Amino acid sequence: MSIIELKHVTRLFLVHERKGVFRRERRTVEAVRDISFSIAPGEFVGYLGANGAGKSTTIKMLTGILAPSSGEIRVCGKDPFRSRREIAYHFGAMFGQRMQLWWDLPLIDSFDQLHYIYRVPDDQYRARLAELVEILDLSSFLKVAVRQLSLGQRIRGELAAAMIHTPAILFLDEPTIGLDLVAKERVREFLTQINRRHGITIMLTTHDMADLERMCSRLIVLADGQTVSDGPLDELFGAYKLERTLTVDLSEPCESMIIPGARSVSVDGPRQVFRFVAQDLSSADLIAQVAARAKIIDLTLKEPDVEDLVRAITKAES
Amino acid sequence: MSTIAIYARLVRLQVRSQLQYTTNFLMSVLATFLFTSLDLATILVIFSNIRTLGGWTAQQVLLLYGAAASSYALADMLLGSLDRLPQLIREGNFDSMLFRPRSPFFQLLASDFMLSRGGRLAQSIIVVIVICTVYIHIAWTAGAILVLTVAVISGAVILGAVWVAGACISFWIEGAGEFVNTFSSGALFVTQYPLNIYAQWLQATVTFIIPIGFVIYMPTSYLLHKAPIFDMPSVLRLSSPLVAGAATAAAAALWRSSIRHYRSAGG
């Protein structure tokens, strides 16, 4: 029995394009094309794709904000667009940069307000709030107006706000964006905990590799409005060898170096860029080999990020 | 808790938080006070050059202004948050009102309640009472009080319906915010002078198409025994509650269909 189900879902948008001063052309764009997948209760799914791949459109259809142009969607067994108000009790949502809290009111007032909006019984609300305040460590700023909170505090507040009515599903769009490392860890810990302890189904989009590694058990990857990959995280990570990037600045311009296990991506004066797979070559080894041939002044090492993963999967599957 | 009770609660919370910033609050009350005074001064300047405007004396126009401004202030106090709609839509924040299990309309109205708008209402009502008592010598019979009160409330409802209809445009056309604002300030300007001074087509438009003429002009001209425009039966000028009902129904239908059309920002 799945809690989220999409069958051959397509969503078209009509866009107007300017052609010259007076001429405008109408064109339909498929934001999402024939997507099908289902998610079981308690899964923690990373929903990935390049910008404009159709992630937000999917989430908006799942939350009943947009209707699909064709196909069928079921969330908790119901059509979200038709039963928007009803479905609202079953999910919580947090869209990174978008505010759900009341800007001028103390955080606690927003929570109180949401408990009435979602018709949460008083005793249940008090217990829930106490739990959220404890795991998200909100007690020190509960009475502070939302506009005076730091980003990290606000995000924690938003997360709690999305959880007040004990939803079965949580939709999260970039929940850790802009947070410092400590705050990120705290958010991840919280999400993992509610997923394991309460069996809440979570679907999240992110640009942070660590978010995926630390929390998700399954990845669904979108490209150009279609699902290109869907499977357990470990399998996907094993199947696609992701490259690290080493950028070195040498004391003087130098010819492109040939080093086994690494490929030279660009040579720009004294700056050279290499890509390599961690399993084939260690970074220490690569740096030593470069240093043996030229004097290194500066270097940076970049781990593969979510964009690299999405790019690799998209390339392999299309 | 009912949606209305939740609305009232949120309004109370915002009022409480706004009262904490006393200076800020007093400044905005002072600003609206200056605004109202400027409007009054404009009318007096006009009448320092002419005796009557469309057959209306300065005092009568001041009454019209005061009553229209009361309607406007009442509508603005309750529906002022509509101004935020274009921005909410553009930034995608309207989404969060849609995925909560309550009417998005009331969530929107409750999102930005400003107590200082109440200051304007108080000032306008005072203008009406002073003008009526001191200059026009209206006998404060139960009938006159009823006509004025019903007129101001129905007027506010009609203005509100027109604003809601205007705000709906931002669901259909991106960046229509300017248009919406023109709508609300234009509405006030048209209602505060006697309609019969305008060109026929404008009179017809604000009487039959966008019924702003019914906001205050019709009942006030009845109260002051003026000749009705378009030779309409005199009593028809008291039909503003009916017009308010019809306008509300039309605005509500437009709002619902606009929400269905809504496609949200940010792909």
- Domain with A40, as residue range(s), is 4-239
Q: Which of B99, B264, B266 sits opposite A93 (nearest CB)?
A: B99
In percent, the amount of chain A with pLDDT more than 90 equals 51
pLDDT of A258: 87
Domain count, chain A: 2
Instruction: Please provide the average confidence, as pLDDT, over all residues in chain A.
Output: 89
H or E segment at A275?
A: strand A271-277
Side chain identity at A161, as an amino acid letter?
Answer: A
Where on the phi/psi map is residue A171: left (φ > 0), alpha (ψ -120 to 50), or beta?
Answer: beta
pLDDT of B124: 86
Q: Which value does ipTM take for this structure?
A: 0.78
- Tell me if chain B has a CB within 8 Å of the CB of A118: yes
In this model, does residue B265 exceed pLDDT 60? Answer: no
**B99 contacts on A by Cβ (under 8 Å):** 63-65, 84, 88, 91, 93
In this model, does residue B35 exceed pLDDT 70? Answer: yes
In percent, the amount of chain B with pLDDT more than 90 equals 15
Question: To the nearest whole angstrom, how far is the Cα of A87 from the nearest Cα of chain B?
Answer: 8
In this model, does residue B264 exceed pLDDT 70? Answer: no
d(CA B49, CA B45): 7
If asked whether residues A176 and A57 sit together in one domain, one would say yes
If asked whether residues A124 and A265 sit together in one domain, one would say no
In this model, does residue B27 exceed pLDDT 80? Answer: yes
Mean pLDDT on B184-200: 81
CATH number reported for the structural domain that contains residue A270 in this entry: 3.30.70
Read out DSSP for A22-35?
A: TEEEEEEEEEEEEE
CB contact under 8 A, A66 and B263: yes
Across-strand partners of A203?
A45, A171
Mean pLDDT on A50-54: 84
**CB–CB of A121/A82 below 8 Å?**
no
Residue B266 pLDDT grade (very low, low, confident, very high; cuts 50, 70, 90): very low
Mutate to test the interface with A, among B7, B16, B21, B100 (most CBs of A within 10 A): B100
Q: What is the largest CA-CA distance in chain A?
A: 72
> CA-based angle B65:B70:B74, to the nearest 5?
150
Residue pLDDT, tens place only, A71-120: 999 999 999 998 988 999 999 998 866 778 888 889 999 999 999 999 99
If asked whether residues A235 and A247 sit together in one domain, one would say no
Q: Of A212, A239, A266, which residue sits at a domain end?
A: A239
If asked whether residues A248 and A234 sit together in one domain, one would say no
If asked whether residues A24 and A115 sit together in one domain, one would say yes
pLDDT of A304: 85
Residue B184 pLDDT grade (very low, low, confident, very high; cuts 50, 70, 90): low
pTM over 0.90: no
In this model, does residue A56 exceed pLDDT 90? Answer: no
In this model, does residue B139 exceed pLDDT 70? Answer: yes
CB contact under 8 A, B101 and A60: no
CATH number reported for the structural domain that contains residue A219 in this entry: 3.40.50.300
d(CA A40, CA A45): 10
Residue pLDDT, tens place only, A258-283: 888 898 888 988 999 999 988 788 88
Question: Parallel, antiparallel, or unpaired: how do β-strands A169-173 and A91-95 relate?
Answer: parallel
pLDDT of B88: 86
If asked whether residues A140 and A268 sit together in one domain, one would say no
